[in-house]
Chain A
């Protein structure tokens, strides 16, 4: 079965090609079902491959398949191929699984859209790229997938391209990511220079040829790439704008899968990070700072999707905190559970937006609990999970991250724990404003609204995800090694670089109780403050609703000066200085020539004269010099 692993990325690629060729003829909803089926097939193959790999002894769970040579130059030869190991399989399985669910949801969500087939065309291309990213056997294939998902993200954010805000948001996402890509590329060049390879296994065997400065540089440059893709400080403003895309896109790309690519990359290169502990500290601190800042911003947003967007940034920050501490399995654990509950929350918000007639302002919602019982119940589970209320999945995953952070530095733990309170609070605020209180949507005069739960294509994924969000913690329970399935499963890949957390059972219980108190405390605060109140200006300061003015500052201090500089280059430097010099020289010749001959003979002749005279002089010079 392992040799069939090429089928995993092949199915979505075939789906993409079919839709590219015949998409418009296949039409709605068949195009959507073909795309869904392709991803489902890919998921089934992944599960089968997973089963056969799991049957092997732990030390033999690495299979590299090389298909053909991509680039060669000198000593460097980079192939196209995939690497099947516990990490890549974990990623592939959750990507194809969640993607299949979201494809199914989209068939319902996008049913009235004119560009229906094109939507699924992009989605399949995205899944293919994402699978190449996580399955690639070398860093250049990872980069191929990396750019591929970035391009699909650009297409899908700007999917409703007639809206200028959507078009600009797509462009913004691509440009922010491009900044990160610059770091990624430099890391690749440094690795090529030192190890003459980009194949993971080869690089890791040649790490001794890298100095400690090189190792730190590679780690941090790759992190710059990861920060772009995974929206970490200071490269996160694009993710809030990315909410312009259709909601299933936000769920799939901008919550569950693509934005976690940076975390995957860090785990994949864990042997390098392991040798660069200082870089690890930088990553941990940027991660926890991002988690905190994004959580504060989440407290003051009024757009249902932007709350979730900043929440995603914050959760990604937790994952990088884990990575920086060397707790790679905790990072993956949180990534998986986050994929469940955040996809659930996004899809739930999509149902709400649908029911509200495309209204996204939570201040204009309210009291939907009774009208949309299924959405309300699943959203509630999502809230408890992300808040970290036991026994929902988020409790176990976030607890794992925080207890590891404590080992590295209690200061990291303090910021992380405070952020946990904020998380429970801002998600509670959102849940209460949407599903409790007065039905404020009736006030807007649109009496035509009759909110209700959506059809089965949209409800089924909600139920599946709610189950996963509730019980996802089971894959890695911290009660002895026979229950830490994920940790043991990932050990062959990240085990050697892993932080050794020697917490005793008592410590684990104490951490667990503390986490539960933070979660319930935050949730209670939300209940007390937002149960029946819609506006609390003191809790929603402009500083927070404007996202710490980061976006505005980047625009003011980087984008606009660069643009002005470019204008200066285009108008003054190019037209007046460089071209002016050329014209000036030409003019001098012209004046000289016309004085010489006393007649204005036109351009060609005077230039030709000057050139010929110059030519004779130069030929003569060289003839004399060379002794002729």
Chain B
């Protein structure tokens, strides 16, 4: 199909969809007028029922915790898929050491960069931890904090160079973190069932409202998510970085990876 016919087809579809979309938009409640009963209700009862201040975390880790479990494993699927697809080409063998791209000069880093990274790295990690543990009180949570923690490891790369980064990061540990975190989250769901409660029912003491220790089981789940996200995103960085070092001409066809 030539690009022109394609655009014509799109335009035709757009012409039909335009009045339909207009009718739907006109039928929606006006912007900013009201919110749904479900959200209203959650805002009303959750602070008291779960002693948490952050409603979004309460939804993610308690009321609709199953969604987050699915989301967590979606991330795991994507990262496992990335690893399989990128390594399928490079082979499994050389994952432990930094690969060298022949002919590429290693440019020494300036001391200022090294110093800045050595200061900023731990600070970023600390901030990530802060975001993780305060999920129930302030905006934050395992996902956000986990991503910050993972980016802190990138500062090692910036400061210490690629080889230094690879010495600090081990792919197996990352797998263990990722799988272990996801396992922890899943077990947080199953464990309450042993006491006769429902899956992921919040059976732990709820703690004090507006305090770090509030929300009971949410804190543990949150830790699991943070662990998995940190491991997962670092693994992602690692695999993509390794890709920049891979030899241009592959010596093994993809079939052999089967």
Q: Does A associate with B in a complex?
A: no
